[in-house]
Amino acid sequence: MSYMVGYGSNYPKQIHHRGASIVSIKKDPAPVTCQGGFDWFHRPEPNPNVLEGAIVTPDENDGFADDRNNFQLAEPTTVTNAPLVGVLAHLAQLL
């Protein structure tokens, strides 16, 4: 499994991220209330918006349960993404 959203065929599809878990206004222009956001958040389907490039964290046994309620593992953070971005930026500079 890839821990980067959108990379490969088997990646996390239930990221703990409000913008990714609520339908786009382009598909449904109806306003989403605070409570309505939680209704979207608690659906078992994959997120309607793919948060491409976000990186999630595996557990101590290198496992990952794709469940947006598990914020400890399913929430993309700058702490997780920043080191990878830094390394890739440095490598791009060398080209």
**CB distance 94 to 35 below 8 Å:** no
Sign of CA dihedral 63, 66, 72, 77: positive
Structure tokens at 95: 């080209």
**In this predicted model, what pLDDT tens digit does every residue of 41-68 receive, in sequence order?**
999 999 999 999 999 999 999 999 999 9
**CB distance 66 to 12 below 8 Å:** yes
Count of structural domains within the chain: 1
Residues designated as active site: 66, 75
Q: What is the predicted pLDDT for the residue at 48?
A: 93
Give me the half-sphere count of Cα atoms (radius 13 Å) on the Cβ side of residue 24.
6
Q: What is the predicted pLDDT for the residue at 79?
A: 85
| Distance set, CA 36 to CA 31, 40, 73 (Å) | 9, 7, 24
**Domain region containing 25:** 4-94
